[in-house]
């Protein structure tokens, strides 16, 4: 597929983008998830090749050097994340559109590269307090990682205006339905 499309979901950690992307993947939408690479450790039930390709720091850096990434970011200090060229090509070759769950800077980077072929969606929690509550309730981060994510969330919020679309994730069902409609319109448009 030469003119495959990209659907990019970005947001500060804890806003609900993974929840919304997982919902879309369960519905009748011709999309496939771009599994990113990272050097962070798996958490909970995360599986290699499903949630992420979990790499050592050395492996990650070697892929940067060999230009294996379409984009990559040091999202948090010493925590690297990146989109592999092979992943996107594989999904387009399958006749599907690619859906991304990536950080705000990575999302804007892809939008800049692909222009109208990309729909960039910013998921916004109703407030920073709500975001903090959700992140704490998710119970996946130790204190240091939680603080790192909350520190970054405030500055990331300021990027919302550069996205094609902002979805406020207050009531989850409403946010999921809105995401579904917009993605279907984009794919069919």
- In the block, tokens 């294996």 appear at 68
Binning the chain into helix, strand and coil, the percentages to the nearest 5 are 45, 25, 30
The listed partner (ligand 5GP, ligand ADP, none) that binds 32, CB under 5 to 8 Å by sort, is none
The listed partner (ligand ADP, ligand 5GP, none) that binds 182, CB under 5 to 8 Å by sort, is none
Q: Bridge-partner residues for 158, per DSSP?
A: none
User: Residue 117 or residue 138: which is nearer to ligand ADP going by CB?
Assistant: 138
Helix (H, G, I), strand (E, B) or coil at 189: coil
Token pair of 157, please? 């919020």
How many residues appear in the chain? 189
- In the block, tokens 């958490």 appear at 43
User: Residue 80 or residue 100: which is nearer to ligand ADP going by CB?
Assistant: 100
Residue from 14, 82, 106, 107 touching ligand ADP (CB under 6 A): that is 14
Q: Among the candidate windows 8-16, 60-68, 71-79, 86-94, which touches ligand ADP by CB under 6 A?
A: 8-16
The listed partner (ligand 5GP, ligand ADP, none) that binds 81, CB under 5 to 8 Å by sort, is ligand 5GP
Residue numbers of the site for ligand 5GP (CB under 6 A)?
Answer: 13, 36, 40, 71, 73, 75, 81-83, 101-103, 106
- Nearest partner of 122 among 146, 104, 135, 110, judged by Cα: 104
x-or-dash pattern for ligand ADP, window 97-136, by CB under 6 A?
-------------------------------------x--
Distance CA 121, CA 6 (A): 11
| Start-to-end C-alpha separation, the chain | 16
Query: Site residues (CB under 6 A) for ligand ADP?
Result: 11, 13-19, 134, 137-138, 169, 172
């Amino acid at each position: 597929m030469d003119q495959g499309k990209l659907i990019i979901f970005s947001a500060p950690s804890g806003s609900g983008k993974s929840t919304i992307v997982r919902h879309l993947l369960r519905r009748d939408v011709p999309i496939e998830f771009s599994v990113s690479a990272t050097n962070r450790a798996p958490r909970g039930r995360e599986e290699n090749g499903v949630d992420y390709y979990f790499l050592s720091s050395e492996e990650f850096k070697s892929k940067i050097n060999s230009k294996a990434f379409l984009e990559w970011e040091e999202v948090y200090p010493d925590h690297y994340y990146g989109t592999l060229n092979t992943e996107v090509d594989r999904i387009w070759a399958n006749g599907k559109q690619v859906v991304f769950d990536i950080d705000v800077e990575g999302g804007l980077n892809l939008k800049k590269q692909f222009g109208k072929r990309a729909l960039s969606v910013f998921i916004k929690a109703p407030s920073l307090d709500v975001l903090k509550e959700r992140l704490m309730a998710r119970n996946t981060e130790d204190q240091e990682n939680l603080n790192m994510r909350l520190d970054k969330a405030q500055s990331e919020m300021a990027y919302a205006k550069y996205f094609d679309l902002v979805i406020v994730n207050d009531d989850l069902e409403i946010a999921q339905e809105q995401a579904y409609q917009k993605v279907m319109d984009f794919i069919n448009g």
